[in-house]
Amino acid sequence: MKAILTVAMVIGSSITSVNADTPAEKPNEGLMTEQHEKNIEICTQNLVAIGKAIEAYKKEHGDFPEWLSDLHPKHLADANTLICPTDEEGGKTIFSLNTDPKMPVSYGYQFHPEYRKEKSAQREIYGDVMPLVRCRHHTNEDFDCLNLSFSSKIYKSSHVWESTPEDLYGSHEAAITALEDALARHPDNRRFFEVHPQLIRLYTKVGNEQSANALIERLKSDATKDLDGYRMLFDVLVMTERYEEMLEIFKAAEQQHPDAEPILWRLAYIYKKLGNTELAEVYDRKADPKYELWGKSVPDFSATDLDGNPISLQDYHGKVVLLDFWAVWCGFCIDEMPDLKRVYDTYKEQGFDIIGVSLDDTEKELRDYIKENDIQWRQIFDGEDSLVRQYGIRGIPAPWLIDRDGKLISHKARGEDLEGLVVEALKNKPEDR
């Protein structure tokens, strides 16, 4: 469904004196901090060993391994080296797409068959400092990922390393030099457009407004040739908050591409930022045809839930029901889950219910998450994407709130809006049939 070695690392600890004005350290807090640091140290050692094993593998085979498991046992004797000490599940990547098919591996390998083409292209832009192996298991730290680069360097970074290239290169200035060099080597290659937003951000960070403005002007003249160029230009101008300027550019873009959803929803965003909520809603509706379904009957479906029982919308007539398209791999969906559980628990006795439609890769992932998080409502594993196709789902989360008579209230019933929409819908009694 998802159409994603020479190292010296010193992990120090600070010593703080405690006096009457200093809060006392919580019990075991020092031990926990010490354990976190020890885990990072072991993980770093694992990545060093993996880096050496990859180099040995390349020397023998002339290429990178397909998966990290290919390193074991010849080039990486101890299989435990592939397990991060913070990984409580003993060998599971954060993203299911990175799951090694042969053995438990905690680390996300960025050069497996699904990624190789994309990462090879990115490597032309960023060089060998970009991540090759990543660990996302160190929560509650001052970083998101611990990385092993193609050049066998280890460093900490954010989840989306492309957004913080200074993590790769070591400083804002070094990142600027590297990205400028990439653009100079490939001045007309539109694939290198992704560098522009970050380079402008970096110029702004170091106070070089002149270079930032010059790059924006260059991008404005080059980017307005197709929809992909407008996307990149939008990202750049949002970063610099030039909303009036954006409005003129995207009004012109609408003349060129009157029915293009990417242009329409960006105009909705711009109008919202400028405080024109009326036009923002007009363009939001233009960009999303599903608004036309509001107030209309939602087509029924026939499926089987995780317990093997038949399930359909018709079974829920007379209730307010949330048809929730989601997946365990969808971070936004998981972020919504605590609030979704709260609303369900609050209103389930008043006629509110939820049907989960999972877009997960495997049924096991879904079952494990439901069990671990005590999800009470029924679930459908849509492994064949039949409901996705039936309802035209193009992205998740997609929570469709349906009234007691089976009519669509909203296809965006989430966040702060969900509870209010549920409360209002529960006031209405179903029509006689």
pLDDT tens readout for residues 238-295? 877 888 988 999 998 888 888 888 899 899 999 999 999 999 988 888 888 788 888 8
Q: Which helix (H) or strand (E) holds 13?
A: none
Tokens of residue 298, six digits: 């939602």
For tokens 């040995």, name the residue.
56
pLDDT tens digits, residue range 109-145?
A: 999 999 999 999 999 889 999 999 999 998 766 788 9
Look over the chain and give the mean of its residue pLDDT values, rounded to a whole number.
Answer: 86
Cα–Cα nearest to 379, from 390, 367, 388: 367
% helix / strand / coil in the chain, to the nearest 5? 50, 10, 40
Residue 208, pLDDT score: 94
Judge whether residue 377 has pLDDT over 90. yes
CATH number of the 173-292 domain: 1.25.40.10
Higher per-residue pLDDT: 394 or 55 = 55
pLDDT tens digits, residue range 244-253?
A: 988 999 998 8
What average pLDDT does this structure show over 226-234?
Answer: 80
CATH of 302-426, one of 3.40.50.300, 3.40.30.10, 3.40.50.720, 3.40.50.450: 3.40.30.10
Mean pLDDT lowest for which of 141-145, 172-176, 197-201, 325-329?
A: 141-145
Helix and strand counts by DSSP (H, E) for the chain: 14, 11
For tokens 């101890």, name the residue.
78
* Residues across the chain: 433
In this prediction, residue 300 has a pLDDT band, given cuts at 50, 70 and 90, of very high
Using a pLDDT cut of 70, give the percent of the chain over it: 91
State how beta strands 408-410 and 145-149 pair.
Answer: unpaired
Amino acid at 2: K
Residue 32, pLDDT score: 62
Q: Which helix (H) or strand (E) holds 291?
A: none
Q: Cα–Cα distance between 209 and 186 in angstroms, integer?
A: 23
Higher per-residue pLDDT: 212 or 8 = 212
For tokens 């399930």, name the residue.
311
Q: Sketch the domain layout of the chain as residue ranges.
A: 31-161, 173-292, 302-426
Amino acid at 193: F
- The dihedrals phi and psi of 52, each to the nearest 5 degrees, come to -65, -40
pLDDT tens digits, residue range 378-429?
A: 999 988 888 999 998 888 999 999 999 999 999 989 888 899 999 999 998 7
Tokens of residue 265, six digits: 């929803």
Tell me which range, 279-283, 317-321, 330-334, is most confidently predicted by mean pLDDT: 317-321
Does the pTM exceed 0.75?
A: no
Judge whether residue 9 has pLDDT over 50. no
Please enumerate, as own/partner, the contacts of 400-403 that have beta carbons within 8 Å and a separation of 24 or more.
Answer: 400/298, 400/322, 400/323, 400/324, 400/325, 401/320, 401/321, 401/322, 401/323, 401/425, 402/298, 402/313, 402/316, 402/320, 402/321, 402/322, 402/323, 403/320, 403/428
- Whether the bond between 187 and the residue before it is cis, its omega within 30 degrees of 0, is no
Residue 19, pLDDT score: 34
Higher per-residue pLDDT: 193 or 78 = 78
Tokens of residue 104, six digits: 């438990």
